[in-house]
Amino acid sequence: MSGDACGTDASAPPVLPLESAPAGLRARLESLRLKYAAAFGGEVPAVYVRVPGRVNLIGEHVDYCGYSVCPMAIQQDLLVAASPVDTGDFLRLVNLDSETYPGHDFPDRNFVIDLKLNGWSSYFLCGVKGALERMSTGCSLPNGRPNGNVPPGSGLSSSSALVSAAFLTTAYLNKMQLSKSELAALSARSEQYIGTVGGGMDQAIAFLATKGCAKHIEFEPIRTEDLSLPDDAVFVIAHSRVTKNKAATADFNTRVVECRLAAQVRKFSVQNCCVGIYE
């Protein structure tokens, strides 16, 4: 691996024409367009947003303690087709896999984020809520139709990808000027509305990934360094088909507390292990 210069990313996510998308992605976007039109009275989406999943190479359960991590983005992703709501504050979310993930309607912007009531939509609402809190009144809500091929509950950041995609969609439709680093930090904060107190690794690699590279990511503030991977490197990601919804129980937050306590103990121990000569 080789490392490139470390720093923050002040650039905004790229806005690309549909025709520039690879053939496989274009086919998925076309399918999403047709399904969106069917759900929203023939309307054409105003924007498509793509956010990748991720796998972490080293640094598990340390980002929320302030320690650095080394993840990389994967090809599997989360897509959202969306348009600004033009009928009052009515918000509709429809999943492409509607049999497994039923859609939800929200009559106004004072929606309640409740995983038991709204299921997958709650993650999308986290991103919308986080973006709305950055804006004044009169901002637009997005009608959205997500679709992804990141296996849910597999540890590949499908939920964070959905939150990040919702935040980015809402920000774009309301012409918010935010850098990739800002989007990563704000999306991480928004995901806490679901009830989990995570770090910022998932969102940072989602917005700051570089093709062919893993990322060394530091926090407070977010700083990244590209780690170039060998051209012939192959990473095999195996999924046992056992899923884990970290927001469904207190287990994840318990681990956060345990790790933060351990980090404080380690900090105290290191500070008191210096070499000294006494007379």
Residue with tokens 């999924």: 239
- What distance in Å separates the CA atoms of residue 123 and residue 164, rounded to the nearest whole number? 9
Residues 6 or more apart whose Cβ sits within 8 Å of residue 63: 69, 198, 199, 200, 201, 217, 219
Residues 6 or more apart whose Cβ sits within 8 Å of residue 65: 199, 259, 260, 262, 263
**Marked catalytic residue, from 9, 77, 202, 226:** 202
- What distance in Å separates the CA atoms of residue 202 and residue 210, rounded to the nearest whole number? 14
Contact call for residues 58 and 69 (beta carbons, < 8 A):
yes
- What distance in Å separates the CA atoms of residue 255 and residue 264, rounded to the nearest whole number? 14
- What distance in Å separates the CA atoms of residue 205 and residue 53, rounded to the nearest whole number? 9
Active site (annotated) includes residue 105: no
State the catalytic residues: 202
